[in-house]
């Protein structure tokens, strides 16, 4: 089984932690990772873009603008025609749902793939615990500096930590995420993933 260093709050190595090979040393399936990201982004799309494509949607008279023949102009049936200024739109967007389904098995494989890649690249850090005395941004900045963490760091925790959550929320690149909300997009958009021992156990339990 792969082993990762266990760090304390002073950034000192206090031992080793064995991690599940099934989760952190799995086969990387890039196509499923890509599909999971598209799945997440598609669910966020509002799909509310709309144009008026039907005569009943656009207010206006149904009267024929001029007689059919004898005027020298092209024949016209009404002023809501798409070729008229202010008329209907041809082939314009209409409200739609962009989301699609992804199987639970595919989601698990994608998560394992990203965690494996992060582990192999040294972008995972396991800490005994994460605790801040006060929910202040300056304490979060000092903690990240002490732990030598990059600005884009994701803290994975097993339960809500009020102080950490409030302290990190004003930092543009850092985020706190509960294991229950673990997803590929957040794992990919952060340079470093920091897990507590309890969060690590919960991740392995969820993905095994």
Q: Are residues 93 and 16 in the same domain?
A: no
What sign has the CA pseudo-torsion 69, 71, 75, 76?
negative
Q: Which pTM was predicted?
A: 0.82
Helix (H), strand (E) at residue 177: strand 175-178
Tell me: do 61 and 153 sit in the same domain. Answer: no
CB atoms within 10 A of CB 35: 17
What mean pLDDT comes out for the span 63-82? 92
Q: Is the pLDDT score of 155 beyond 90?
A: yes
106-130 mean pLDDT: 93
- Domains contained in the chain, number: 2
Per the DSSP assignment, residues forming a β-bridge with 203 are none
Same domain, 164 and 75: no
- Asked if residue 114 and residue 88 are part of one domain, the reply reads no
Give the model's pLDDT for residue 162. Answer: 73
Which helix (H) or strand (E) segment is 6 a member of? Answer: strand 3-7
pLDDT tens by residue, 7-23? 888 888 888 988 899 99
Q: Residue 152's domain is classified under what CATH number?
A: 3.40.1370.10
Name the average pLDDT for the chain.
91
pLDDT at 56: 86
Is 27 in the same domain as 80?
A: no
- The predicted pLDDT at position 100 comes to 93
Question: What strands, in cross-sheet order, belong to the sheet with 13-18?
Answer: 13-18, 3-7, 124-127, 192-196, 153-157, 175-178
State the pLDDT at residue 130: 85
| 101 pLDDT above the threshold of 90 | yes
User: Is 1's pLDDT higher than 80?
Assistant: no
Using a 10 angstrom Cβ sphere, with 0-12 exposed, 13-18 middle and 19 or more buried, the burial of residue 155 is buried
Under the banding of pLDDT at 50, 70 and 90, the label for residue 98 is very high
Domain residue limits at 127: 3-45+100-207
Share of the chain above pLDDT 90, in %: 70
Whether the per-residue pLDDT at 62 is higher than 90: the answer is: no
Q: What whole-number distance in Å separates Cα of residue 29 and Cα of residue 111?
A: 10
Residue 103 and residue 118: Cα distance in Å, rounded? 23
Question: Looking at the structure, do residues 61 and 142 belong to the same domain, yes or no?
Answer: no
């Amino acid at each position: 089984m792969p082993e990762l260093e266990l760090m304390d709050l002073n950034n000192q190595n206090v031992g080793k932690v064995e991690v599940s090979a099934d989760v952190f040393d799995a086969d990387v399936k890039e196509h499923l990772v890509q599909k999971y990201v598209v799945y997440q982004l598609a669910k966020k799309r509002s799909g509310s873009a709309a144009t008026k494509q039907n005569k009943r949607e656009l207010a206006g008279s149904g009267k024929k603008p001029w007689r059919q023949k004898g005027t020298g102009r092209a024949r016209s049936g009404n002023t809501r025609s798409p070729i008229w200024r202010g008329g209907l739109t041809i082939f314009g967007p209409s409200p739609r749902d962009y989301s699609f389904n992804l199987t639970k098995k595919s989601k698990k494989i994608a998560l394992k793939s990203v965690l494996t890649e992060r582990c192999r690249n040294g972008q995972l850090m396991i800490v005994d615990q994460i605790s801040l005395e006060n929910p202040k941004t300056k304490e979060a900045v000092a903690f990240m500096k002490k732990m030598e963490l990059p600005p884009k760091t994701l803290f994975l925790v097993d339960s809500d930590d009020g102080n950490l959550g409030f302290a990190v929320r004003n930092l543009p690149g850092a985020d706190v995420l509960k294991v229950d909300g673990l997803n590929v997009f957040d794992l990919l958009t952060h340079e470093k993933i920091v897990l507590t021992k309890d969060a690590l156990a919960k991740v392995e339990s969820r993905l095994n």
